[in-house]
Amino acid sequence: MKLYTVAILGATGAVGQEMMKILQERNFPVGQLKLLASRRSVGKTFPFNGQEIAVEEACDEAFQGVDIVLGAAENDIAKRFAPAIVAAGAVFVDNSSAFRLNPDVPLIVPEVNAEDAKNHKGIISNPNCSTIITVTAVNALNSIAPIKAMTASTYQAVSGAGAGGPVELMAQVEALSKGEKAEAKVFSHQIAYNLIPQIGGEQYQGYTSEEMKLQNEGRKIMHLPEMKVSCTCVRVPVVRSHSISVSLHFDKPVSVEEASAVIAKAPGCRLVDDLANHIYPMPLETSDQDLVFVGRIRPDLTDDNGLCLWCCGDQVRKGAATNAVQIAELLVK
């Protein structure tokens, strides 16, 4: 088996660390792993396949001889190093939003549009976490009838804001239990015992940048350029795993039985739907694994051609790190 030199850009962050874990879990054919981060992290070591790998400073020269770069850094870092990565002959699988809507850059969820990865020009984008979870849950329904529109609400865990999110939630819970003030630094408001109905800044007619991603990215991934999406993104006091409530609108009726049968067989999905026995997708059940759980499938009472469902998925794994490693697996195949 051919072995590959893999680099992780942003290796010390939550997603970068998860990428290391998943490369090992999935036995990705890594010959050499390079961990790249800012200068202040140089010299830190992390275990990988029985070795201790030292962090190197991210610089243009660091990508020489690398086959695949998994990006776990912010937009500005991705933009800064993308030219050097491509020039070095590596393929950049980028988790930031920097290139997602670039028409020359494939935007990939392997269970949905794996074939698009063949058209890359050195960069492949990993979609937004909620987009990945949602399209994995609903894409198979296109085999019954194309999705015309979606109305969605996302319930996004604090870890989606980075490693500081869970720390702040736990600190606020502890402070409030002692009668002390809950300090908000990571989030704009107290998140403990609260919901914050804003993720991202305003982008379009009162919709935030996070809310527009499901339409803009979903159209590209599912090859549905006319699909319309209204989305509300909410930060909730859950540590891990995002949940999404979706109303789907088709051009003909789709029965609950049809939808359930298709979703039960869809790659990357698990049908979890037994309301009478209180069985449905929940963040606690979907954390630290890679399937998207789908349930609460029912008719949309406002639309004869509509269905409603509820899905949950681990946004650190399937919504980020695992999806990126799956894209890398497409490349080595």
189 has catalytic annotation: no
The predicted pLDDT at position 19 comes to 98
Contact assessment for residue 66 and residue 92, using Cβ atoms and an 8 Å cutoff: no
Q: Are residues 328 and 310 in the same domain?
A: no
Q: Are residues 105 and 156 in the same domain?
A: no
Among the listed residues 242, 249, 308, 312, the single catalytic one is 242
Pairing of strands 30-37, 45-48: unpaired
Give me the DSSP letters along 90-115. -EEEE-SSTTTT-TTS-B--HHHHGG
Q: Are residues 103 and 139 in the same domain?
A: no
Contact assessment for residue 57 and residue 36, using Cβ atoms and an 8 Å cutoff: yes
223 has catalytic annotation: no
Looking at the structure of the chain, the number of domains it has is 2
Per-residue pLDDT of the chain (333 residues; tens, 9 = 90+): 799 999 999 999 999 999 999 999 999 999 999 999 999 999 899 999 999 999 999 999 999 999 999 999 999 999 999 999 999 999 999 999 999 999 999 999 999 999 999 999 999 999 999 999 999 999 999 999 999 999 999 999 999 998 899 999 999 999 999 999 999 999 999 999 999 999 999 999 999 999 999 999 999 999 999 999 999 999 999 999 999 999 999 999 999 999 999 999 999 999 999 999 999 999 999 999 999 999 999 999 999 999 999 999 999 999 999 999 999 999 998
Give every CB contact of residue 310 below 8 A, 6+ residues apart in sequence: 243, 244, 245, 246, 280, 281, 294, 295, 296
Q: Are residues 234 and 206 in the same domain?
A: yes
Q: Residue 241 — φ and ψ, nearest 5°?
A: 90, 120
User: Which pTM was predicted?
Assistant: 0.96
The predicted pLDDT at position 163 comes to 87
Distance CA 116, CA 94 (A): 15
- CA R_g for the chain: 20
Token pair of 25 as six digits: 């879990």
Among the listed residues 129, 231, 308, 311, the single catalytic one is 129
- The domain of 294 spans 132-315
**Location of structure tokens 């639309």:** 303
Q: Residue 7 — φ and ψ, nearest 5°?
A: -115, 145
Q: Are residues 196 and 59 in the same domain?
A: no
Q: Are residues 146 and 32 in the same domain?
A: no
